Amino acid sequence: LVEPVVDRPRMTVIGTGYLGATHAVCMAALGFEVLGVDVDARKIEALAAGRVPFFEPGLEDLLRETLATGRLRFTQDFAQAAAFGDVHFVCVGTPQTKGSQAADLTYVHAAVDALARHLTRKSLVVGKSTVPIGTAAALTQRLQAAAPAGAAVELAWNPEFLREGYAVADTLTPDRLVFGVTSAWASAQLRAAFAPVLDKGTPLVECDLPTAELVKVAANSFLATKISYINAMAEVCEATGADVNLLARALSYDARIGGRFLKPGLGFGGGCLPKDIRAFAARADELGVGQAVAFLHEVDAINNRRRRRTVDLVRELAGGALQGVRVAALGAAFKPNSDDVRDAPALDVARMLHEEGAVVRVYDPQAMGNARRAYPELAYVDSLPAAVHLADVVVLLTEWDQFRHADPEMMGWLVAQRKVVDGRHALDADAYRAAGWDYRALGRPLMS
Ligand code: NAD
């Protein structure tokens, strides 16, 4: 018996955080009818009222446009979701488990259980969250056990590669789509769900469930490794007087290496890379192949050493001790164009400086609310001039344009001492030195 494939499947998106809200809005923008589902009442109310509860360029405008078409709605009601959707995208969080390196699947299980019991007809549940390999197979059983008899529900995996800060463009025009499927019906259903994206010529890789799960963690591991590779070279540079910026540039002209993600500095953070490489290593251990990815522990360690080294540079510039030193910490988000402070290197450095007795003032153009909630012990100010006012040392931690383009001469008038640590290789070293600043950066000798 050939199962019918719905031409234009109606979709639900379960979990409307950074990933889910973006996916729901973009799918509605592509012409589908979409229902966003979350257990967080405040998030649902905000989205339904046209407000994105986090910072993502372009998303709020698109949310308002799609709400106005009537194609996009939001609910907390799983029964409504089950009745509405042909395809259900699961986009809930998979954070690191407290006290362990492994991923916490509590939210995925809760979302699938809550949906499954209401499913009454053939439907496809599609995992988008980043999960350990083997999760999809286990979830298939869970789903089928929880769904009422006759619901004939199937599971597929469609890992997500969007980048915060570019989430809308990455969703509408992704580099590739990956469909982990176990039947021709699921494949056809997903092809229908992504037809407008596939029609643009987006490459599609169709595969089994474990490969689909693995693509995501393998990609993130590669990116994390590339960053830690150049940061490991920065450590070597620091011991030899070589300049990691020039090294990275010279390496980047080799097309086999390439320059993207080869940027030395304070390293990676956020809600994905750190927890994904840890969860991958933990899962590989469980599978008996821990040695194959043992290098990921080193990747993580190199990354964390950069944070400590940044604190060392600030201390050195301050004359050897941090007690009472006024530090302007520029940036809190884990990267520019985001308000996400999950595992943010910037806030980790600010916290370490604070713990050593420095008087730290943090400013970030978008992440102040999240930063205050994450580290209430730090002092926050609401502008760049307020942060640098009478500072003994300025430390750039997140490379927002506003900081990159700040005039070193004007900043110089505000600070107590013209001393700057560039944690992101984002400032014009020559311009700062010309304006009389003592400029330091990770992996660079004093005068390059
Ligand atoms: P997030 O914390 O911003 O969003 C998760 C959402 O799920 C929250 O709104 C939460 O209220 C909701 N939720 C929790 N339990 C629920 C339940 N039982 N039912 C319905 N909703 C529930 O997280 P995120 O950054 O959007 O990440 C989600 C997943 O996507 C993670 O697995 C992450 O690794 C992956 N991912 C994220 C990105 C990114 O850039 N943020 C990119 C690719 C993949």
Distance between CA atoms of residues 49 and 208, nearest Å: 39
Give residue-wise pLDDT tens across range 101-149: 999 999 999 999 999 999 998 999 999 999 999 999 999 999 999 999 8
State whether the beta carbon of 337 lies less than 6 angstroms from ligand 1: no
- Checking if the pLDDT of 448 tops 90, the result is no
Residue 150 has a pLDDT of: 80
- Checking if the pLDDT of 1 tops 50, the result is no
Helix and strand numbers (H, E) in the chain are 19, 14
State whether the beta carbon of 38 lies less than 6 angstroms from ligand 1: yes
Instruction: Let me know: does 36 contact 84? Beta carbons within 8 Å.
Output: no
- Checking if the pLDDT of 4 tops 70, the result is no
Residue 6 has a pLDDT of: 73
Residue 445 has a pLDDT of: 81
State whether the beta carbon of 110 lies less than 6 angstroms from ligand 1: yes
Q: Confidence band (pLDDT; 50, 70, 90) for 7?
A: confident
Nearest CA to ligand 1 atom 1: 17
Give the residue with greater pLDDT, 346 vs 444. 346
- Checking if the pLDDT of 176 tops 70, the result is yes
State whether the beta carbon of 129 lies less than 6 angstroms from ligand 1: yes
How does DSSP assign 136-161, residue by residue?
HHHHHHHHHHHSPTT---EEEE----
Burial of residue 157 (CB within 10 Å: 0-12, 13-18, 19+) is: buried
Q: Which residues pair with 156 in a beta bridge?
A: 126
- Checking if the pLDDT of 71 tops 70, the result is yes
Please state the rounded mean pLDDT for residues 195-204: 98
Give residue-wise pLDDT tens across range 284-304: 999 999 999 999 999 999 999
Instruction: Let me know: does 229 contact 265? Beta carbons within 8 Å.
Output: no
**Selection from 437, 345, 344, 448 nearest residue 392 by Cα:** 437
State whether the beta carbon of 18 lies less than 6 angstroms from ligand 1: yes
CA angle 50, 107, 49 (to 5 degrees): 10
Q: Which tokens hold the place of 144?
A: 């089928």
Number of the ligand 1 atom closest to the C-alpha atom of 164:
40
In the chain, the amino acid numbered 239 is A
Burial of residue 264 (CB within 10 Å: 0-12, 13-18, 19+) is: buried
State whether the beta carbon of 111 lies less than 6 angstroms from ligand 1: yes
3-state class (DSSP) for residue 207: strand
Q: Name the pTM for this structure.
A: 0.95
Nearest CA to ligand 1 atom 17: 111
Residue 3 has a pLDDT of: 63
Question: Could you give the C-alpha distances from 8 to 27, 32, 205, in angstroms and in order?
Answer: 11, 7, 21
* Binding-site residues from annotation for NAD(+): 38, 43, 94, 130, 164, 275, 342
* Binding-site residues from annotation: 38, 43, 94, 130, 161-164, 216, 261-265, 269, 275, 335, 342
Distance between CA atoms of residues 20 and 37, nearest Å: 9
**Helix, strand, coil fractions of the chain, as percent rounded to 5:** 45, 15, 40
Give residue-wise pLDDT tens across range 374-429: 999 999 999 999 999 999 999 999 999 999 999 999 999 999 999 999 999 999 99
Residue 55 has a pLDDT of: 95
Number of the ligand 1 atom closest to the C-alpha atom of 275:
34
Residue partners of 146: CB distance under 8 A and separation at least 6 = 112, 113, 116, 117
**Active-site amino acid positions:** 272
Give the residue with greater pLDDT, 7 vs 351. 351
Please state the rounded mean pLDDT for residues 9-22: 98
Please state the rounded mean pLDDT for residues 179-197: 97
Give residue-wise pLDDT tens across range 317-360: 999 999 999 999 999 999 999 999 999 999 999 999 999 999 99
Cα 360 to averaged position of ligand 1 atoms, centre (Å):
31
Give residue-wise pLDDT tens across range 158-171: 999 999 999 999 99
Cα 428 to averaged position of ligand 1 atoms, centre (Å):
37
State whether the beta carbon of 115 lies less than 6 angstroms from ligand 1: no
CA angle 292, 295, 296 (to 5 degrees): 100
Give residue-wise pLDDT tens across range 229-266: 999 999 999 999 999 999 999 999 999 999 999 999 99
- Checking if the pLDDT of 280 tops 60, the result is yes
Domains of the chain: 11-207 (3.40.50.720), 220-441 (3.40.50.720)
Residue 447 has a pLDDT of: 65
How much is the ipTM here?
Answer: 0.99
Number of the ligand 1 atom closest to the C-alpha atom of 21:
26
Cα 429 to averaged position of ligand 1 atoms, centre (Å):
39
Q: Which tokens hold the place of 255?
A: 């097309």
Distance between CA atoms of residues 444 and 441, nearest Å: 6
